[in-house]
């Protein structure tokens, strides 16, 4: 077996930007299994693909921090278990740490001795012929010694959620499921069962499962390994903390650029891009109503991300990306199409302060926008007893 290591290249984009872009690449979902010293190992992986048909070779890219990656390295064998569209629970089971991920999962010993998941749509048994270490992951190249497939459709991974190659329909189901949470059909702390959600929406279980995984990515629900999907609570403490954190980051960026703003030396292309982001956002809030809330949410996030990006600091951009901005805005502003053009005007003032080279005006406008956002959340929560 050959082992190579990739040289570290200078990054051209931030890790957050990279994840956001490749998250739009739909991929099949697999569980990689192996055995080592009579112990079974397994993990969910989407970075798996075929390399060659002659000879038959597969590639599996595994995180070095996982026990499964180390076990594959020691054992020299692995199985690619391709999950079907109803394999969402298996995908979740093998994506989180557990004392025995295989408990209750039907398996057989394959040709290599590694466990094969009986409920998989297909499986390919591989012997490692080469491995390449690259950053946080190791790429294992495996020679396929056995391959079996069954009829059915694959489970897919797209933008942080499991689904199928039926994105338009699944997206419609997701929005209906989200409306049920936002309009309090399900209250904070309620457990949502996949089959019950499917029945309520008159869809099949895979569509309901996909919707719930997207709701989990939004922060509207959380997945409890023992209970299922639980509706998360939302109150002003979370919204205040999140909006204040965004403000702190933006004020830091503006303060750091104060001299450059006054001197007019801030990158012109970056400022032009920020203006374009603002205009896209402003077009989606007209007459005190959202034209398209989801599009507005994306545009609003992009505008504020653009402000932070002016600093040219990947750490600040990453910190901004870790905030629960989308969750907070979805849980509050997303509950009603009614809003106020004051939000656009407040953000316009931030932009114009930056364009005018006036850091004090930009900072004051950022503070005003933050207070406006927090006040709007309070107005919305006042109709629900202060909590969603």
Whole-number pLDDT of residue 326? 78
Q: Which CATH fold would you assign to the domain 2-156?
A: Pnp Oxidase; Chain A (2.30.110)
Tokens 């995908």 — which residue?
Answer: 91
Sign of CA dihedral 131, 134, 135, 139: negative
- The pLDDT confidence band at residue 169, using thresholds 50, 70 and 90, is low
Tens of pLDDT along 92-105? 888 888 888 998 89
- C-alpha to C-alpha distance for 105 and 77, rounded to whole angstroms: 20
Residue 380 confidence (pLDDT) above 90? no
Is beta strand 2-5 parallel, antiparallel or unpaired with respect to 122-134?
parallel
**In 3-state terms, what secondary structure has residue 289?**
strand
pLDDT tens per residue, range 140-162: 999 999 988 887 777 776 544 55
278-324 per-position pLDDT tens digit: 999 999 988 888 888 888 888 999 999 999 999 998 888 888 887 87
* CATH class for the region spanning 236-382: mainly alpha
| Mean pLDDT, residues 261-274 | 94
Mean pLDDT, rounded, of the chain: 83
pLDDT tens digits, residue range 36-61?
A: 888 999 998 877 888 777 788 888 88
**3-class secondary-structure state, position 281:** helix
What is the pLDDT at residue 133? 83
Least confident interval from 5-9, 140-144, 165-169: 5-9
Identify the DSSP state of 310.
Answer: T
* Interatomic CA distance for residues 93 and 116, integer angstroms: 15
Q: Where are the domains of the chain?
A: 2-156, 166-231, 236-382
Q: What is the pLDDT of residue 6?
A: 45
pTM above 0.85, yes or no: no
Lowest mean pLDDT among 69-73, 148-152, 190-194: 148-152
User: Where residue 15 falls among pLDDT bands split at 50, 70, 90?
Assistant: low
Question: Domain 166-231 is in which class?
Answer: mainly alpha
Mean pLDDT of 215-223: 79
> How far, CA to CA in Å, does 289 sit from each of 77, 160, 333, 336?
57, 29, 11, 9
């Amino acid at each position: 077996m050959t082992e190579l290591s990739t040289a570290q290249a200078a990054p051209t984009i931030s890790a957050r930007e990279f994840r956001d872009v490749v998250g739009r690449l739909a991929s099949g979902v697999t569980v990689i299994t192996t055995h080592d010293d009579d112990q079974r190992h397994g993990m969910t992986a989407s970075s798996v693909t075929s390399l060659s048909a002659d000879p038959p070779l597969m590639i599996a890219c595994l995180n070095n921090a996982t026990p499964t990656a180390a076990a594959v390295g020691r054992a020299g064998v692995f199985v690619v278990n391709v999950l079907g569209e109803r394999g969402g629970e298996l995908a979740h089971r093998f994506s989180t740490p557990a004392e025995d991920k295989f408990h209750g999962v039907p398996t057989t010993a394959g040709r290599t001795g590694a466990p094969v998941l009986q409920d998989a749509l297909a499986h390919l048994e591989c012997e490692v012929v080469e491995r390449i270490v690259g950053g946080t992951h190791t790429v294992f190249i495996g020679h396929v010694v056995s391959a079996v497939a069954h009829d059915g459709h694959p489970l897919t991974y797209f933008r942080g959620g499991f689904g199928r190659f039926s994105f338009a329909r699944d997206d419609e189901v997701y929005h209906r499921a989200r409306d049920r949470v936002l309009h309090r059909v399900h209250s904070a702390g309620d457990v949502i069962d996949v089959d019950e959600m499917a029945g309520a929406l008159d869809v099949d279980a895979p569509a309901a499962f996909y919707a719930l995984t997207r709701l989990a990515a939004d922060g509207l629900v959380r997945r409890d390994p023992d209970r299922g999907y639980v509706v998360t609570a939302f109150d002003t403490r979370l919204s205040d903390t999140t909006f204040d954190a965004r403000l702190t980051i933006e004020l830091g960026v503006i303060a750091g650029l104060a001299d450059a703003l006054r001197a007019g030396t801030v990158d012109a292309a970056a400022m032009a891009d920020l203006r374009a982001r603002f205009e896209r956002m402003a077009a989606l809030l007209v007459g005190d109503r959202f034209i398209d809330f989801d599009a507005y949410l994306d545009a609003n996030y992009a505008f504020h991300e653009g402000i932070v990006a002016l600093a040219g600091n990947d750490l600040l951009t990453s910190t901004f990306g870790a905030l629960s901005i989308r969750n907070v805005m979805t849980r509050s502003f997303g509950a009603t199409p009614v809003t106020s053009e004051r939000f656009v005007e407040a953000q316009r003032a931030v932009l114009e302060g930056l364009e005018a080279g006036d850091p004090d005006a930009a900072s004051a406008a950022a503070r005003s926008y933050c207070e406006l956002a927090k006040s709007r959340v309070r107005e919305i929560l006042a109709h629900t007893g202060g909590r969603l």
